[in-house]
Amino acid sequence: MSRGEITKHIEAGEGEILASSGMDATEKTRSGSFLQKDGQVSFSHSLIPGVDILAIREALKSIPEAKEYYGSAFTSLKREFPRDTEGGYFIRVKKGVNVELPIQACLFLKSQGFKQKVHNIVIIEEGARVYLITGCSASAAAKEGFHLGISEFFVKKDAFLNFTMIHSWREDVTVKPMSISLLDQGATFISNYVCLKPVKEIVMYPTSVLSGKGSRAVYNSLILSHPGSLHDVGSRAILAAEDAHAEMIARSVSLGGSVINRAHIKAEFPRTKGHIECRGLVMSEKGYIHAIPEMESDLRDVDLSHEAAIGKLRREEIEYLCSRGFSRDEAQSIIVRGFMDVNILGLPDKLRGEIEKIEERNLQSSF
């Protein structure tokens, strides 16, 4: 397997769309790739030893333990999940492997009205480390598409997973991701969600169960909500072991769309900690943001806190920048770019730079 082989599976007109959701077709900055279009897995390969990247269907046939993992996160929480899925990825980083360059996975809606339903499994074994960037996007033809993504993450003892999901849909696409992550002792799971393009409706409420001592879950989101879009997005963490720690940081800008920012931290074990930070900026009179930070515990020895703030662009801030010589448009743009701070995602410099470029392109086309 050689770098850039994925380009053979990218058709004319698809490259730019895939790039907008984080795909590096040259793979120069990647350790492996997965690409699915509609219901078909087009391509998957790993470029380094100790990492499995393959279609879920294939994994269920060739990797005996894959079957044990399949659906187990949902059943552990007694939750139902759709079984009529078609495709999805299986990614496993073996014990102790430190994957320096990110792995990329892309789920692409190609055809009009297609209902894409995938089931993904990610296993990060003991002491392993990886950055996984998942891009979900739709072609110009994929009108009124639908995407359902079921994801199960297993982050083992002292393992590290930074999962960055970039959604780059169309204004008539409906999206419903369902995800559960299980964290063992000392495990770290960072989930970043970036959605800057129009979408019809996104509903998601991923859950992390921190059942390992000293485990840590972080959910960050950057959402730009365009007129006509509805984002009902949130995250939930169940702190079920000593020194478990969850943090949720949301930044939402409404250009006229509706955003419901949910966050829920439940402390089921003493000496746990959780913090929610939810900030919204409403740029248009038609815009709507509803922040719902929730914290729950019947224990005394827990530390849960939240801060939430929703506002519009403050005149004083724009004036301040104008008094330094910026035009009003420049001032507004600087403030929004500052608000949508990619630094909250905790990414290494190179990957952060990539996301900054994607954000910049989207913001440029929005203002």
Partner 1 sequence: MFEVRDLSVQVGTKTILKNINFNIEKGVPAVLFGPNGSGKSTLLKAIMGFEGYSVLSGDIIFKGKRINDMHTEERVKMGLGIMYQHPPQIRGVKLSQIAGFLSGDRERVAALSAKLSLENHLDRDINLGFSGGEMKRSELFQILLQDPDLVLLDEPESGVDLENISIMGAALNEFLKRPGKSALMITHTGYILDYVGSQNGCVMIEGSLWCVGNPKEMFESIRKFGYDKCKECSYVQGRDHKAH
Site string for partner 1, 322-341 (x = CB under 8 A): xxxxxxx-----xx-xxxxx
> Which region among 90-98, 177-185, 206-214, 319-327 touches partner 1 (by CB under 8 A)?
319-327
The residue (of 79 and 328) whose beta carbon lies closer to partner 1 is: 328
Number of residues lying near partner 1 (CB under 8 A): 22
**Least gap, CB of 363 to partner 1 (angstroms):** 13
The residue (of 328 and 361) whose beta carbon lies closer to partner 1 is: 328
**Least gap, CB of 353 to partner 1 (angstroms):** 16
Query: How far apart (Å, rounded) are the C-alpha atoms in residues 229 and 201?
Result: 6
The residue (of 205 and 326) whose beta carbon lies closer to partner 1 is: 326
Task: Show Cβ contacts of residue 328 under 8 Å, excluding neighbours closer than 6 positions.
Answer: 318, 322
Among the listed residues 286, 314, 357, 361, the single contact to partner 1 using CB under 8 A: 314
Q: Which of residues 246-305 bind partner 1 (CB under 8 A)?
A: 279
Query: How far apart (Å, rounded) are the C-alpha atoms in residues 210 and 188?
Result: 9
**Least gap, CB of 305 to partner 1 (angstroms):** 18
Residue 360 binds partner 1 (CB under 8 A):
no
Closest CA to 97 of 44, 51, 66: 51
Residue 40 binds partner 1 (CB under 8 A):
no
**Least gap, CB of 229 to partner 1 (angstroms):** 22
Among the listed residues 101, 187, 263, 321, the single contact to partner 1 using CB under 8 A: 321
Residue 232 binds partner 1 (CB under 8 A):
no
**Least gap, CB of 252 to partner 1 (angstroms):** 14
Task: Show Cβ contacts of residue 168 under 8 Å, excluding neighbours closer than 6 positions.
Answer: 17, 20, 21, 135, 136, 137, 138, 195, 196, 197
On whether the CB atoms of residues 287 and 260 are closer than 8 A, the answer is no
The residue (of 10 and 253) whose beta carbon lies closer to partner 1 is: 253
Dihedral (Cα; 208, 210, 215, 217), 10-degree rounding:
20
**Least gap, CB of 4 to partner 1 (angstroms):** 36
Alpha helices (H) in the chain, listed in sequence order = 15-19, 56-62, 64-69, 72-76, 315-322, 328-339, 349-366
On whether the CB atoms of residues 199 and 169 are closer than 8 A, the answer is yes
Closest CA to 165 of 149, 145, 154: 149
Q: Which of residues 108-147 bind partner 1 (CB under 8 A)?
A: none
Rounded to a whole number of angstroms, the distance between the first and last alpha carbons of the chain is: 42
**Least gap, CB of 352 to partner 1 (angstroms):** 15
Query: How far apart (Å, rounded) are the C-alpha atoms in residues 322 and 331?
Result: 7
Residue 316 binds partner 1 (CB under 8 A):
yes
What residues does 319 pair with on adjacent strands?
Answer: none
Under the rule (CB under 8 A), what is the footprint of partner 1? 279, 314-317, 319-328, 334-335, 337-341
